[in-house]
């Protein structure tokens, strides 16, 4: 990933009535050191983030990402992000993003430095990777046990399973394990046998004419791209829904996709070594929609 821009933010209180937050932004060189060695985001992964896809300089689904950032902040007992301040920071980063092609803007809110300034916040802009191959040719996935049952979120909310935290070591380990097994990605499943999500994406399955995704019960992130794609499908008159999906249903799906803000819709062509049909025409229509400007 080629970093193009970085902006440090002096977080405003939720009740701040200013309309212009330019003075709270400091542009920094993304190639130079910027964080204290005591920063808890790097010491403990104690913070939250969002990744916003950018198409031809236009940041996609900004409000949905800001809503989810606020949701994660609530779950993690972090100060509530000032929506307008972050909105303006995204606009600054978008202005530095590629004018054509695809990019990614990341929003990061950390608990800060222990016994020091808190919180810490910054925004970055970068060129996105070329995702043509997974969108066009599809991906092979394996199922991996996430290590908790479907009742865990209600029983142990301190696990922060519904927050997008900076603690992504497990997610990255899952991707490495998938590659060791000869696959491109993974689908997490609960220990009692239900489909959850991918390490960096939401799961969508098609059964005949119905599109379903796992129930956002607190065990998974509610994907912004999945929400947008479901709105698009509803507008086309298609049936969509949320459900507790048994792992055994994966093999029965007529098609499946992993969807995310940057890779967009990647069709799944095999699960645990068993081939799955790929609907190339429908996938192309998904990605045409996801690449169109959306607020």
Q: Are residues 165 and 122 in the same domain?
A: no
Retrieve residue 253's tokens.
């799906």
Could you give the CA distance from residue 184 to residue 233 in angstroms, rounded to a whole number? 27
Alpha helix ranges (H) inside 106-265: 132-137, 152-155, 169-180, 224-235
Q: What is the pLDDT of residue 98?
A: 85
Retrieve residue 194's tokens.
């239900």
Q: Are residues 114 and 140 in the same domain?
A: no
Q: What is the pLDDT of residue 19?
A: 96
Say if residues 99 and 26 touch (Cβ distance below 8 Å). Answer: no
Task: Pick the last residue of a domain from 127, 144, 169.
Answer: 127
pTM: 0.95
Retrieve residue 32's tokens.
């130079």
The CATH number linked to 258 is 3.20.10.10
Q: What is the pLDDT of residue 1?
A: 60
> For the chain, what is the domain count?
2
DSSP H or E segment with residue 214: strand 210-214
Residue 295 maps to a domain: no
Q: What is the pLDDT of residue 109?
A: 98
Task: Pick the last residue of a domain from 127, 145, 161.
Answer: 127
How does strand 25-28 pair with strand 2-9?
antiparallel
Q: Which domain holds residue 9?
A: 2-127
Alpha helix ranges (H) inside 181-257: 224-235
**Which of the 8 DSSP states describes residue 164?**
-
Retrieve residue 274's tokens.
């068993």
Retrieve residue 60's tokens.
């996609």
Q: N- to C-terminal Cα distance for the chain?
A: 24
Chunked mean pLDDT (size 10), the chain, 295 residues = 88 94 96 90 95 97 97 96 98 94 97 86 96 97 96 92 94 98 98 97 97 91 96 97 97 97 98 97 97 91
Q: Are residues 151 and 116 in the same domain?
A: no
């Amino acid at each position: 990933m080629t970093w193009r821009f970085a902006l440090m933010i002096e977080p405003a209180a939720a009740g701040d009535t200013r309309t212009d937050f330019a003075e709270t932004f400091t542009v920094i060189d993304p190639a130079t050191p910027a964080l204290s060695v005591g920063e808890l985001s790097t010491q403990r992964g104690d913070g939250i983030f969002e990744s916003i896809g950018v198409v031809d300089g236009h940041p996609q689904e900004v409000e949905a990402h800001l809503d989810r950032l606020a949701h994660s902040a609530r779950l993690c007992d972090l100060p509530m992000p000032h929506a307008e301040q972050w909105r303006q920071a995204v606009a600054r980063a978008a202005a530095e993003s590629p004018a054509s092609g695809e990019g990614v803007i990341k929003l990061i809110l950390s608990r800060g430095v222990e016994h020091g300034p808190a919180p810490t916040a910054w925004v970055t802009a970068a060129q996105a990777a070329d995702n043509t191959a997974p969108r066009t040719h599809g991906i092979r996935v394996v199922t991996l046990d996430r290590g908790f049952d479907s009742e865990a979120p209600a029983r142990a909310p301190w696990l922060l399973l519904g927050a997008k935290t900076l603690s992504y070591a497990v997610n990255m380990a899952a991707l490495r394990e998938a590659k060791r097994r000869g696959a491109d990605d993974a689908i997490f499943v609960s220990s009692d046998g239900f489909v959850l999500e991918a390490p960096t994406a939401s799961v969508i399955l098609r059964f005949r004419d119905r599109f379903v995704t796992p129930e956002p019960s607190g065990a998974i992130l509610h994907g912004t791209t999945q929400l947008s794609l479901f709105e698009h499908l509803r507008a086309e008159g298609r049936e969509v829904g949320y459900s507790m999906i048994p792992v055994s249903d994966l093999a029965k799906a007529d098609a499946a996709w992993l969807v995310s803000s940057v890779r967009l819709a990647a069709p799944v062509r095999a699960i645990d070594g068993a081939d799955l049909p790929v609907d190339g025409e429908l996938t192309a229509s998904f990605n045409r929609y996801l690449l169109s400007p959306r607020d």
